[in-house]
Amino acid sequence: MASGQGAAKGKVAKRGSAKRGGAAGLLLPLLALAPLGYLAWPTLLVAGPLMAPTLAAAVVDRSRRRHLTYAVGLLNLSCVLPALLRLWTQGHDRATALAVIGDPENWLLAFLGGGLAWLVHLAMPPLVAAYYAVRSRDRLAELHKRRQILEKNWGEEVSGPAE
């Protein structure tokens, strides 16, 4: 009993130290990236709000492989790219960033990309289900046919165990 409790405590302690180790592991890169963040502040100012559909997908997507997040993120990012190019080409400063973010065309484009990914995500399961139903039916027919040919050529006893 005592040894069991000890082992449990040990596990908890290990988990705690791992957590602490993980936080420490993140802190250092963040500190290293802080100057970069300062330099990229206008980019973050533009990308942050325009990537809102991706943030929403990241919050909603609880799957292990996070396909939804990737899908929305990639399309959203590709649609944010023209706004970022405008920022980077017209002056990477706060005023330009505010001008870019104030342009509704950029908002429309960014949310159109994210929305499109969302729409595909929502429409895809019925399509895949329909596809699989047809595929399953065809495959079953083929398998039954092959099995019938085997039974015709080798008799019913072919269904017995292979030696």
Partner 1 sequence: MIAGRFRVDPAKRLPLFDQPSGMAYLASDQKNASEAVFGLVCRPEMQPRRDAVIKLSRLRLAGLLAPRAIGTLHWAPDDAEREIVIFPQLQGKRLAERPDGRFEPFSETRLSREVLPPLVSTLKELGALYVTHRAIRADNLFFCGADGQDVVLGECVSALPGLFQPVACETIESGQALPSGRGAGRRTDDVYALGALLVTLLCGGPPLPDLDDDELVLRKITRGSCAALVDSRRFSSAVMELLRGLLCDDPKERWSLDEVQLWLAGRRMSPRQVLLPPRAQRAITISGRRREMDREVAQALSRSWAEGVELAVSGELDGWVRRGLGDEERGKRIAGYRAISTGNPLEPDLLLTRALAILDPGGPMRFKGLALRLDGLPGALAQDYDNEDRRKLLAEILASRLPAHWIELQSSGGAEVIAYKKLYEALNGHLGHPGFGFGIERCLYEANPGLACRSPGLARFRVCQIDELLPALERLAAGQGGGGTQEFVDRHVAAFCAARAKDLGSEIYKGLDQPDDLASRRMAVLKLLAEVQKLTGPASLPNLTRAMALLLEPVIQGFHNRPYREELIAEVEATAAKGSLSQLVEALDDPKIQRGDQLGFEQAQVLHRELTQEIDLLEAGALTDPAHVRRTASQVTAVLSALAAVLVFVATAALEVFSF
Q: Which positions touch partner 1 (CB under 8 A)?
A: 63, 65, 67-68, 70-72, 74-75, 77-79, 81-82, 85, 89, 113, 116-117, 120-121, 124-125, 127-129, 132-133, 135-136, 139-140, 143-144, 146-147, 150-155, 157-163
Smallest gap from residue 159 Cβ to partner 1 (A): 6
Q: What is the largest CA-CA distance in the chain?
A: 83
Residue 12 or 134 with smaller CB distance to partner 1: 134
C-beta closer to partner 1: residue 9 or 67: 67
Min separation Cβ 157 and partner 1, Å: 7
Q: How far is the CB of 99 from partner 1 (least distance, A)?
A: 18
By beta-carbon proximity to partner 1, the closer residue of 75 and 100 is: 75
Instruction: State the nearest-atom distance from the C-beta of 91 to partner 1, in Å.
Output: 16
Judged by beta carbon, residue 26 or residue 64, the one nearer partner 1 is 64
Which residue, 105 or 151, has its beta carbon nearer to partner 1? 151
Q: In 47-63, which positions are buried (b, 16+ CB within 10 angstroms) versus exposed (e)?
A: beebbebbbebeeebee
- Please report how close the Cβ of residue 101 comes to partner 1 at its closest, in angstroms: 18
